Amino acid sequence: MVLLQRPHILLLLIDTHQFLQCWIAFGSANEEGQQQEEFSEELLVKPLPDHKLLAHFHFQSSAPPSTSNGCHHHLFPKAISQLVQKFRVKEMELSFTQGRWNYESWGGFDPISSSNAKPPGVELWAVFDVPQHHIDASWKNLTHTLSGLFCASINFLESTATYSTPEWSFPPASGNVRYGTLPCEAVCTENLTPWLKLLPCRDKAAIALLLDRPSLYRGFYHSQRLHLTSTESSSEGIDSGIILEQTLTVVLQPNSERAIEVHASEKHVQPSWSLSSIFGKQVSGRCVLAKSSSVYLLLDRGLVAELKFPNKENGKSAANGLTSENFWSNPSFELSVNPDRIFLEESSSHSKSLSILYMFQVEKYSESEPFDIGLMWKVPVAWLCQQTPLHASRFFMGSGNERGAIAISLKSTQFTEGFMSANSKDGSCELRVDVFQVVPWYVKVYFHSLRVFVDQQPRAVSDFIEKIHVSPSKDKMSPGVMEVVLKLPCRVNTAALTIEFDKGFLRIDEYPPDANQGFDIPSAIISFPNFHASMVFLEDDSLNRSPLLSKFQEKCPVMSYTEVLLVPLTTPDFSMPYNVITIKCTVFALYFGSLLNVLQRRVAEEERFLKAKAAKKTGRLPLLLSKLSAKLRGRRREPLHSPPSSSSFINSKLVLKVILVAGLAVGWQYFFS
């Protein structure tokens, strides 16, 4: 009875009981020696052929299942853990991208471009571990939660007209997956700051200290990505728990003044750079909460094949020359810091040359001796990055605001030529291409008009399309989805898909504020399931401890994104309604103002006022003469009248005003109707 009379004491006891349960669960997990929370930070730097530099930040946090770890977290962000538990998210990926990845210059057949090259704007997909009839509700709640967490407009994806349900072409193919994009979403520091708050040390120490906002956002490409994997049950033999992978990929332009001065007459001059010259800061030790902190310098396969090395004259390979102990004496470049380890890529079936990876441990550096790696080129070097099997691009055909067509063009690359020559003996060589395209509902696509062109010649659709899935759009309800599996010959030079559409009409309240700019059509996803981008280095114990290198060893399908299309729709003149409303309001104000003036005016008082005013203007002499004349005649004096002011004249003038204003209002209404 005492507890019931004091409810605050009862609430305190309940909270204390829950806290003790969490603490006991956490203590039992420690005593049993189960998996603990871990955090690692890594940075990979890679020179690019077009005088630019790729910086790839990789942060990974892992936590054991909530059943064994209780309600408390040491390193893992609590907001992500609650999100997984509440919405039962099995896998999720969210990316904020500014710019477009240049597949021709920066490559497309490597783990970084296949996994971290994202379309402009916001891309979100998630796999839920809930029944089918609860997926849409979970997706809606997830978008609202992420919108508040990352200060973005992700909540616009809650509508069924903005997201789709891929069947089999999307990589995490499952019936419980939802996919949505916002191509016009702007990326700024408001999205980066919440992303950094998920890190244990944020951006105050170690590698995250290099994330200088002005340096990042003046780059040519910027993409921050968050990938979440949750395996609460280990029935399949998988390590149970939650793994949060945060990556930030930036393409920057180094300061090449020194290189231009040294090699002013050369064409292929690579700029020299250092971390301090690019980001304006140095790395002073590691994050105290991080299990590992490393920086890698990756030399691409094409670059290794073109580099000059002393052992070439002796018949040794480029890899032996670059991985030898006297690598710093290489005549092509010079490193400012000696690497701690050097890794050589294993032989690849898709390329004759191998990649070289230099590893630098950040733990041994401190504030008194900060880490600042630099690379200085001695001679001009030109190379090409390994591209995707087919280069994909998308564009519009037709003109006018009524109808048009969407075309997806596929062109062969150097990789296709090498693959074709390697499989030329087999006459049945085929190249599989998966196409996934989402079209908004206001673009009325006619899927029956799909046509296929191979080597600029029209071909039968059934000869090259092995599988197709189409989901027509519904007005204001769902977008149109097309999934196609193409089987092309290995010797193909060009291939194209075209499909016709009509442009819909929107209501005036359905247009965005910048309607004259156009409407965005999300990027199409082109994937090659038979090709996997991976980089397997020689076996070493440190590879198992590095999440980034372990990620490189995973076989991820090669995929690329096309351009975002901007379709102009018939847009009304939004200034005309404003002008009509303004003129109508003016006319009605004049009409009702004059009418109210007539109705409320008192004519008798105005006549008396005019008479008194006229009497004042006559003067004393006329007044005395009128009085004298009245006395002589013996009659009463009559007041003076003002001839110009008469009631009949006033009434007729007001009536004319009312008739004129009413006539103007009626004529204006008749003209516009």
Ordered DSSP codes for 275-321: HHHHHS--B-S--TT-SEEEEEEEE-HHHHHH---GGGTTT--HHHH
Q: Residue 249: its pLDDT value, please?
A: 97
What confidence tier does 235 reach under pLDDT thresholds 50, 70, 90? very low
In single-letter form, the type of residue at position 414 comes to Q
Mean per-residue pLDDT, 509-518: 85
Mean per-residue pLDDT, 240-265: 74
Of 255, 261, 208, give the one whose Cα is nearest residue 59: 208
316-343 pLDDT, tens digit each: 455 555 555 545 557 788 899 989 988 8
Q: Residue 70: its pLDDT value, please?
A: 58
Q: In angstroms, rounded to a whole number, what is the distance separating the alpha carbons of residues 299 and 399?
A: 46
Q: Residue 233: its pLDDT value, please?
A: 47
Of residues 134 and 267, more confidently modeled: 134
Tokens found for residue 440: 């908004």
Q: At what angle do helices 135-150 and 189-197 cross, to 10 degrees?
A: 100
Mean per-residue pLDDT, 523-529: 94
CB count within 10 Å of CB 193 equals 14
Q: Residue 570: its pLDDT value, please?
A: 85
In single-letter form, the type of residue at position 92 comes to M
Q: Which helix (H) or strand (E) holds 213?
A: helix 213-217
What confidence tier does 267 reach under pLDDT thresholds 50, 70, 90? low
619 touches 566 (CB < 8 A): no
Under DSSP, the state recorded for 156 is G
Residue 502 has pLDDT above 90, yes or no: yes
Q: In angstroms, rounded to a whole number, what is the distance separating the alpha carbons of residues 369 and 141?
A: 48
Secondary structure of residue 626 in the 3-state scheme: helix
Under DSSP, the state recorded for 51 is S
Ordered DSSP codes for 85-114: HHHTEEEEEEEEEES---HHHH-SSSHHHH
Tokens found for residue 100: 């477009």
The mean pLDDT value of the chain amounts to 82
Residue 584 has pLDDT above 50, yes or no: yes
Q: Residue 310: its pLDDT value, please?
A: 47
Domain boundaries, the chain: 41-257+270-308+326-377, 390-419+426-539+548-567
How is the chain split among helix, strand and coil, in percent rounded to 5? 35, 30, 35
Q: Residue 105: its pLDDT value, please?
A: 92
Secondary structure of residue 359 in the 3-state scheme: strand
How far are the Cα atoms of 85, 437, 539 from residue 408, in angstroms, in the given order?
40, 10, 42
Q: In angstroms, rounded to a whole number, what is the distance separating the alpha carbons of residues 222 and 100?
A: 9
Residue 652 has pLDDT above 80, yes or no: no
489 touches 174 (CB < 8 A): no
Secondary structure of residue 418 in the 3-state scheme: helix
Mean per-residue pLDDT, 568-595: 85
339-369 pLDDT, tens digit each: 998 888 887 666 667 889 999 999 888 888 8
Q: In angstroms, rounded to a whole number, what is the distance separating the alpha carbons of residues 563 and 99?
A: 11
Domain covering 390-419+426-539+548-567 assigned CATH 2.60.40.740 in the classification? yes
Within the chain, how many helices (H) and strands (E) appear? 21, 26
Residue indicated by tokens 């007539």: 598
Residue indicated by tokens 């490597």: 110
Secondary structure of residue 412 in the 3-state scheme: strand
Mean per-residue pLDDT, 74-87: 91
113-125 pLDDT, tens digit each: 999 999 999 999 9
CB count within 10 Å of CB 80 equals 21
Of 428, 436, 586, 568, give the one whose Cα is nearest residue 506: 568
Q: In angstroms, rounded to a whole number, what is the distance separating the alpha carbons of residues 436 and 169?
A: 6
**Quick one: how far is CA 171 from the chain centroid?**
19
Mean per-residue pLDDT, 625-635: 68
Q: Is the pTM of this model over 0.75?
A: yes
What confidence tier does 447 reach under pLDDT thresholds 50, 70, 90? very high
Strands of 163-164's sheet, edge to edge?
163-164, 177-182, 121-128, 89-98, 221-231, 241-252, 53-63, 38-47, 292-299, 356-361, 341-344
